[in-house]
Amino acid sequence: MVTALIILYFISSLTNSKKIVIFLGTIFSLVLYPQTFVVICILAIFVKTFGEYLQEKISIIPIVVLAIVLIKNTFFSAVDGYQLLGVSFALFQVCYYIKSNISLYALVSKLSFFPQLYCGPIVKPSGFERLKKITLKSQALYHCIFSVGLFFKLYLAYITKSAYENDESIFYSIFWWVYMYSDYLSWSLMGIGIAGLSGFKMPLSFRAPFFTHNISQFWSRWNITVYQWCSDFFKVSGRRKYKAYLKIVTSVSVLSLWHGATVGFLIFGLVNLLLFIFQNKIKRKHNWLLVSQILFFVVLGFPFNNTLPKTIFPCIDIKQIFYVVVSVFVLYLFDMYFYKKIRKFVSNYPMTIICACLFFVTFSFFVRNLDGVFYYAQF
């Protein structure tokens, strides 16, 4: 998967062509994951054939989509070894295309676009529109974004995966969060970089989610496009006092059902709901709010992964703990400073940035082991 992304990165760098990159992204999806591609083709044909009927039933389409995703992730993900990888994001995304008047090829190519299909984000039709102008500075920025994503995948995700898989202590949830964030963020950034170099703009999946004050803010900044999908297709109405509760219940329910109907995910959803209610009661007590948010990160990984801690102290060695601490620090710097500071540096030294990124990606291509699946691709 990473090899394919690097190839697309070089092609987008050389051509700056949206058409070529989207076409090749479709080809990669067909070659690497033919089962998913066939499902997407069937889905696209169905939408084009029954488009008018589906528009009349637009209010129930998201419910049907969620039900299909629930069945797929409950019964087929583990059995098929992720062979249906990416179908969930395609199903979420197709809801935006029911009213879109585009050709069958355009629909298939956008639903199966390799850099975003398997780990998101959910891209609306407007997300594939070409930017008006691609400057040297904007190219340097997207080169940098791709390289940072590649670094996160090949180094941070690799290191933190080993820690979370080999630990059974009360710190397991923390290790899991760090791995999942670095892994998922890496794919998202690489997709944004490839799209930007090709002339269109993919949306962010994350916006400093761990620097939030409550669980509601966290989910609005984590998996941003999934949260937005919930807001777009599950309209919540009612008295102002209860609207916030209904909105978080809807969002958490969608997130839980997305992953599958298991005991762990049901507990995951219940923990989110109870914590939201609790935090809403103590929202003026900032110290208690901070403590509850920290406990959220410490606890949530256990029900999500259907496990319990067996020891108090970490089971991994000092070297792995050091690597995790360094990874957390790097992710902290990214969330706090990357989007704020990098633009100014890129504007001053665009050619230096481009050359450095090309060297790093080329070096990684020949030296690092590029194999491995992405965590969120299993859903």
pLDDT mean over 323-336: 90
SS3 state at 349: coil
And the tokens for 58? 């637009």
- Position 82 scores a pLDDT of 52
The answer on pLDDT for 379 being more than 70 is no
- 188-231: pLDDT as tens digits: 899 999 999 998 888 888 888 988 888 888 888 888 888 888 88
* Secondary structure (DSSP) of 109-157: HHHT-HHHHTT-----GGGGSBPS---HHHHHHHHHHHHHHHHIIIIII
pTM: 0.88
Lookup: tokens for 59: 């209010």
Query: Which residues touch 301 (CB under 8 Å, ≥6 apart)?
Result: 172, 173, 174, 175, 176, 177
Q: Say what the pLDDT of residue 244 is.
A: 65
pLDDT by residue (tens digit) across 273-317? 788 888 888 877 878 888 888 888 888 888 888 888 888 888 888
pLDDT digits 0-9 by tens, 92-126: 899 898 888 888 999 999 998 888 887 778 888 88
